[in-house]
Chain A
Amino acid sequence: MDVQETTAACRDAFAELASPARIHDPYPFMHWLREHDPVHRAASGLFLLSRHADIYWALTATGDAFRAPAPGELARYFPRAATSLSLNLLASTLAMKDPPTHTRLRRLISPDFTMRQIDNLRPSIARIVAARLDGMAPALERGEAVDLHREFALALPMLVLAELFGMPQDDMFGLAAVIDPILKGLGPHASDPQLATADAASVRVQAYFGDLIQRKRTDPRHDIVSMLVGAHDDDADTLSDAELISMLWGMLLGGFATTAATIDHAVLAMLAYPEQRHWLQRDAVGVKAFVEEVLRRDSPVMFSATLRIAQRDIELGGVVIPKNADVRVLIAAGNRDPDAFADPDRFDPARFYGTSPGMSTDGKIMLSFGHGIRFCLGAQLARVQLAESLPRIQARFPTLASAEPPTRETSEFLRTFRALPVRLHAQGG
């Protein structure tokens, strides 16, 4: 039987995605998986969906056909949950809650993420962008290579988040250093030492946010932490301290590694497809099309890290997903499904020209921010950071070129970078 054969050919897609060759370029394997084993059951029992239509359905059905793990059954899905702080924090984030708790918690943060609030941040985002580019200019103009990942792509979302959280910039740079080990520890194949390193880092984050909450309690300002502390203090039942800390931990984790990776991917697209740079020299509609296409073609999140547990037996593409199975979605494969996006490996911003954000001209949803009740809280914040950055990079450094190939982080579920060295092309050779 076909499914048997392909299951034998790929026993565990998660392990396959973690191999060095797949981290370098996961897309040929993803195309194979989607064509041959679109409802994949890994040796570990995890399911992995890779067709756009199935992923879209699963995201939409979250909270209905799929649920989050109940506190009492965490150990079943996270065998090391009892001892791991990182897994415990992950389990208490918004991403692991069902309605009505999910709705209650999400509505507490949503005032800071309305379109109006994000729009209000535009001037300060533009200011940070300009300052970071100014900072890179002298070295670039001397003909030196500069690490655009560290100096710009990572710095921008960190500084924006520092402003949102009301944190000193140096504190944010300190905290940011411990994010990568935590993200590594949350992968489905994380080793015990990786998890231990993640937990040590989470202890630091937890302690920092504990202190920050105390400071905001005595000296509240106009920032997210002060606002959440206020919600907590008005009604202790509304938001526990533990919920508050895991919420901040979750925003920190979700907030900038993904945004940084997308800025990196956007710059790589500018360098690889100079004929497409004209989108960044037009109006906001052209910039938006470029940004959405970067998000589609290079989703920073390869597959979902959060659990979706089947509420019942679910038949999908001739495969029965049994009740209580943990189902993950391979977002990066769905974004490159030719049934949703024709010639999917091609970088073509025209797919998103003149549409509403996240939807192609064919009416297909770009999956990188998810869909359904867990739709990325920071989607618009990320979009604004990209839209404020890319035209300025293009205008400021029109001869930007790669200095060395970029270095990727070795994570199978986040496609992020360690370094992206760039330089300026010598004018006139």
Chain B
Amino acid sequence: MRILVDQDLCATSGQCVLTLPGTFRQREPDGVAEVCVATVPQALHAAVRLAASQCPVAAIRVIESDAGDDERASVDPAPSPAGAERHPAKDQRNPGGHDGTV
């Protein structure tokens, strides 16, 4: 799973940061939302979908497929079961929180 934030649309409400502080952050200085992980571990998939659905301006787009790790791959609507096995560390709360993909 990957996440895209439409930064033109973002209303800087900070709602996603309140929901998932390790996955989203607010850019300095203007508060526009950023994603701070490259890919989302399986354990957080449901929480990320929730954060996306709660964004007041629907600026968060969730790309379910891990095939998306290949930049040119098209969006696969069905989550790949293999994806789950590639992220076995389900208890890892805040992975990649500082690996700065922004």
Contacts and interface: CB of A to CB of B under 8 A. Distances in A.
A107 B30 contact: yes
Contacts of A370: 56
17 contacts: A60-B56, A106-B11, A107-B30, A110-B12, A110-B30, A110-B32, A111-B28, A113-B31, A114-B26, A115-B18, A115-B26, A357-B15, A359-B54, A363-B53, A373-B56, A375-B57, A380-B14
Contacts of B31: 107, 110-111, 113-114
Complex A-B, nearest 8 residue pairs according to Cβ-Cβ distance, in ascending order? A356-B19, A110-B12, A110-B31, A375-B56, A114-B31, A111-B29, A115-B14, A375-B13
B18 A357 contact: yes
Nearest to A376: B13
Contacts of A18: none
B58 interface: yes
Interface string B56-91: 111000000000000000000000000000000000
Contact of A379 (B13, B30, B32, B54): B13
B30 A356 contact: no
Q: Which of B15, B29, B32 has the most CB of A within 10 A?
A: B15
A356 B54 contact: yes
A114 B50 contact: no
B26 A359 contact: no
A371 interface: yes
B5 interface: no
A365 interface: yes
A161 to B, nearest CB: 19
Nearest to A227: B29
Interface of A: 59-60, 103, 106-107, 110-111, 113-116, 356-359, 363, 365, 370-373, 375, 379-380
Given A114-B31, A356-B51, A357-B18, A371 B56 contact: yes
Contacts of B56: 59-60, 370-373, 375
Contacts of A379: 13
B17 interface: yes
B8 interface: yes
A5 B39 CA distance: 56
A281 B38 CA distance: 39
Nearest to B56: A375
B88 to A, nearest CB: 26
A190 B34 CA distance: 44
A356 B54 CA distance: 9
A372 B15 CA distance: 12
A107 B51 contact: no
Nearest to A116: B26
Contacts of B19: 356-357
A359 B30 contact: no
A308 B13 CA distance: 20
B57 A372 contact: yes
Contacts of B18: 115, 356-357, 380
A375 B54 contact: no
Contact of A111 (B15, B30, B51): B30
Contact of A358 (B8, B15, B32): B15
Contacts of B8: 103
Contacts of A60: 56, 58
Point out which of A115, A358, A380 has the most chain B C-beta atoms below 10 A from its C-beta.
Answer: A115
A363 B29 contact: no
Contacts of A103: 8
A113 B12 contact: yes
